[in-house]
Every structure is written in structure tokens, then in C-alpha cells.
Amino acid sequence: MGISVSHLALVTGFLLCLIGVWGLLSNRHILRIIISFSLLDTGVHIVLVATGYITGATAPILDEALGPGAAALHSVDPIPSALVVTAIVIGFSVTAVMLAYAIRLYRAKGTLDIDAFTESKG
């Protein structure tokens, strides 16, 4: 028995989440942090879609041939997919704002290293 598509998607999504979190915590360069955030975001999207996927199921279209109640057992849940489409659009806009902010920081300081933006207090 092989690995199912939903399990493969879950593993891939969690792996992308872990890579994204590692990148957020280990990098000091703003562009690498933005890319890590995008990887984390993509991993969450894949995990959400994988949770609504049922192996061997069809699109959630009601058919009289299936009978009443059988469509719910043999169809993929459309709600996670719809939420992920919305989250992708929001993620793109947040990434665009982060990149615009990174451009402004680069113009102000001439670098994208976080250490250049922290000022000593003493």
C-alpha cells in the first residue's frame, strides 16, 4: 500500500512550514525573511487544502445517481479550498507590502541587514 495524495500533501505542507519557520528565525537579511514568510504561508495553504481532500472523492456536485446523502460521503469538502484561494490573495498583498517596505528601508539605510536598523540605547 502506497502513500496517499493527502498524506503526501500534508507532509509537504508541514515541511514547507518548518523550512519557513527556520528561515524566519535564522536569517538576518530582510529579503530572506520575506521569502521564508512566503514559504511558511504556502505550507499552511497546502496543509489546509490537504485537510479537505478525500482520496477517491469527486467534486462536490450533487447528482441524482448517487442518491440522497451519498454525495456528502463521496465528495471533497470545498470550504478549505475556498478559504485557501482567499488566503493566497491576502498573502500576495502582504508580500507586496513587505517588499515595498524593504525597498524603503534599503533606500533609507543602504542595506537590508536587520542589525543596521537596530539602534543602541546606551
| SS3 category, 69 | coil
Angle, CA 121 vertex, CA 120 and CA 122 arms, to 5° = 100
Residue ranges of the domains in the chain?
A: 5-117
For 20-66, the pLDDT digits (tens) are: 999 999 999 999 999 999 999 999 999 999 888 777 777 777 666 66
Class of 5-117 in CATH: mainly alpha
Q: What pLDDT does 58 receive?
A: 73
- Cα(97)–Cα(39) distance, rounded to whole angstroms? 16
Q: What pLDDT does 4 receive?
A: 82
Q: What is the pTM of this model?
A: 0.81
Which amino acid, residue 32?
A: R
For 85-120, the pLDDT digits (tens) are: 999 999 999 999 999 999 999 999 899 998 888 775
- For the chain, the distance separating the N- and C-terminal CA atoms, rounded to the nearest angstrom, is 64
The secondary structure of the chain in percent helix, strand, coil, rounded to multiples of 5, reads: 70, 5, 30
Residue with cell 441524482: 64
